[in-house]
Chains A and B, each alone.
Chain A
């Protein structure tokens, strides 16, 4: 069991359930970096730690809730979003974040994703996109790039992936961004921006997966290098153009910020006030 973290992690140590370390994640996995960046964002947010709640679904990313020492819930596959909405609506002063994978959020939880964006609930969703179902052995997901190989697309994926930022934006999200786990400063700032957004905020975080690399005969270090270098930052880009293609440059940035939209919670509680409930 790990008793304490190295000096460079001292600031976030109170936010890590260190008795649970090491994590279950593979060497080379990007989720540890996200754990570090996210807990730093909690510290920098100015929001009291006890007002932070993290909800996760199932999968490798789903385990992140279990390593963060705030009120954290690891629920059923695909259902983190409605569970988080239930918490947020009940205690609107809490800062509720869903952190889950591409399969959890965009496949089995896809319906909840579009409706949470449409209703503009004041929560943040961090979708960790590693292009694949890692925990179950490397099946294709709704974000697996066309042509890439997985256990369920052994001849190359014949499907087209979701363009998650475009999907979230068109469904009504107030803030949409995409970063990789390696862009820690930009990602940290995007998370802080998401916390501040009054309404639905979605950040797609691209993360390397050893399972995905292995199935595609890519060297893991090469995949990491790719995600660090073969990217271009274009804030405010037309979201129709940010779809991810196998082997092609990935567009990153803080794409959308709709400041003038009321969240569901604001609207609901002003309705309650109007009818005299509070």
Chain B
């Protein structure tokens, strides 16, 4: 392994830097980005590090150019990424749809800030949950991770590259300002402890390029041929058949789009991550994720010490959302779910899809501001005692 990569050990690192180093360890060798608070440290670090490891760094003229450059790099076979924040992710949406349609692996790190619009660039937010899955037109699936600490941002960035490669999808890492700009303990594992995935290559040799089907629908995730490998492939954002050629028929439309969603939906249980705490026959389950986790944990600890039976469910992937666990908890007789997030109700809507019997209460928070443990304690208490 490359001696220029971060050595194993325990570091005190800023989340954004940990993310950049994780990307390099995962094999990312192309970064294109556009300055935006609060993600810029990540780009500064990449500007310095990419040339050192022989990779590419480029500052795009805007976020659209940046993600399109990353997609071009992916088409050429490199693991590529971009990082941004809410407004930038909004600008990238059309290209995310293209990545899904062309099945180009790419990692997009979103250091969320307070929105809508310019909002509060220097404060945290959790407002990009919905746009990360539903932002582009048409039907497609992405994968989105929800780290809550610099360590998780590090670990999930590596996972994000692996997932992108394995399923040929755009993967979004939904961190936020607090995770990205906080210094924390980051343990960097030994290289042999890190699992690295590469996209599957065609078994057909390039000289038989006429037999190679870049979008072979017999496989959920078709093998990938990069530009310059001799396969003379064609990729188009138009509805296409197994050859990659435009095909506007009902059959081609069904075959392609159903596969784009099936490859994630049928593997949702493989991909989804979550954590459960104090889940010993709880009366209420609090659902929280990302940087809110800390506050929520303190609030629940206090409630538990007072004898209330409150569990904590923390999704670590927003997409696919581990909804089957919510269903199981719902069936197991939980009285209610309480969703805590720094937005006006995004994961709240997702949770409601899976709850039939229990109540679902949302505790919103002003974009920019982490709810404090004592205020969460009293808000949750007022729900469970009413």
User: With A53-B227, A86-B68, A91-B227 in contact, is A72–B237 under 8 Å at CB?
Assistant: no
Stretch at the interface among B49-57, B180-188, B193-201: B49-57
List A contacts of B61 (CB < 8 A): 82, 111-112, 115
Query: Of B56, B72, B94, B206, which is within 8 A of A82 by CB?
Result: B72
Please give me the residue from chain A that is nearest to B225 by CB atom: A71
The yes or no answer to A50 lying at the interface (CB within 8 A) is yes
Task: Give A226 to B80 CA distance when docked, in angstroms.
Answer: 47
Task: Give A104 to B65 CA distance when docked, in angstroms.
Answer: 14
Interface residues of B in 21-73 (CB under 8 A from A): 29-30, 32, 50-56, 58, 60-62, 64-66, 68-73
Contact indicator A72/B51 (Cβ below 8 Å): no
The yes or no answer to A33 lying at the interface (CB within 8 A) is no
Query: Of B73, B94, B234, which is within 8 A of A90 by CB?
Result: B73
The yes or no answer to B307 lying at the interface (CB within 8 A) is no
Task: Give A278 to B4 CA distance when docked, in angstroms.
Answer: 11
Contact indicator B69/A70 (Cβ below 8 Å): no
List A contacts of B232 (CB < 8 A): 49-50, 69-72
Contact indicator A79/B95 (Cβ below 8 Å): yes
Please give me the residue from chain A that is nearest to B246 by CB atom: A66
User: Which size class do A's interface residues fall under?
Assistant: 35 or more
Contact indicator B78/A74 (Cβ below 8 Å): no
The yes or no answer to B123 lying at the interface (CB within 8 A) is no
Contact with A along B60-94 (1 / 0, CB 8 A): 11101110111111111110100000000000001
List B contacts of A88 (CB < 8 A): 72
Query: Of B50, B229, B234, which is within 8 A of A74 by CB?
Result: B234
User: Which size class do B's interface residues fall under?
Assistant: 35 or more
The yes or no answer to A167 lying at the interface (CB within 8 A) is no
User: With A79-B68, A86-B32, A91-B76 in contact, is A17–B234 under 8 Å at CB?
Assistant: yes
Interface of B (DSSP majority class):
mixed
Contact indicator B51/A76 (Cβ below 8 Å): no
Please give me the residue from chain B that is nearest to A48 by CB atom: B230
User: With A86-B70, A90-B76, A271-B51 in contact, is A74–B64 under 8 Å at CB?
Assistant: no
List A contacts of B4 (CB < 8 A): 276-277
The yes or no answer to B144 lying at the interface (CB within 8 A) is no
List A contacts of B94 (CB < 8 A): 76
List A contacts of B138 (CB < 8 A): none
Contact indicator B233/A71 (Cβ below 8 Å): yes
Interface residues of A in 212-255 (CB under 8 A from B): none
Task: Give A168 to B262 CA distance when docked, in angstroms.
Answer: 45
The yes or no answer to B174 lying at the interface (CB within 8 A) is no
Contact indicator B95/A76 (Cβ below 8 Å): yes
The yes or no answer to B231 lying at the interface (CB within 8 A) is yes
Task: Give A276 to B78 CA distance when docked, in angstroms.
Answer: 20
Query: Of A74, A82, A275, A276, which is within 8 A of B236 by CB?
Result: A74
List A contacts of B355 (CB < 8 A): none
Interface of A (DSSP majority class):
helix
Contact indicator A86/B73 (Cβ below 8 Å): yes
Please give me the residue from chain B that is nearest to A277 by CB atom: B54
The yes or no answer to A29 lying at the interface (CB within 8 A) is no
Task: Give A276 to B2 CA distance when docked, in angstroms.
Answer: 12
Interface residues of A in 69-96 (CB under 8 A from B): 69-76, 79, 81-91, 93-94
Contact with B along A55-74 (1 / 0, CB 8 A): 10000000001100111111
The yes or no answer to A9 lying at the interface (CB within 8 A) is no
Task: Give A82 to B62 CA distance when docked, in angstroms.
Answer: 10
Contact with B along A109-147 (1 / 0, CB 8 A): 001100100000000000000000000000000000000
Contact indicator B95/A87 (Cβ below 8 Å): no
The yes or no answer to B235 lying at the interface (CB within 8 A) is yes
Please give me the residue from chain B that is nearest to A276 by CB atom: B52
Which of A51, A70, A71, A72 gathers the greatest number of chain B CB atoms within 10 Å? A71
Contact indicator A89/B73 (Cβ below 8 Å): yes
Contact indicator A82/B65 (Cβ below 8 Å): yes
A65-B236, A272-B51, A276-B4 given; name 10 further pairs at CB < 8 Å.
Answer: A53-B227, A81-B65, A83-B72, A87-B227, A88-B72, A89-B30, A90-B72, A90-B73, A91-B228, A275-B51
A-B CB contact pairs (8 Å), 21 listed: A20-B245, A66-B234, A66-B246, A71-B233, A73-B75, A74-B246, A75-B102, A76-B94, A76-B98, A79-B65, A82-B61, A82-B65, A85-B69, A87-B73, A89-B58, A94-B227, A268-B51, A271-B51, A276-B4, A276-B52, A277-B54
B residues adjacent to A (C-beta < 8 A): 4, 29-30, 32, 50-56, 58, 60-62, 64-66, 68-78, 80, 94-95, 98, 102, 206, 227-238, 245-246
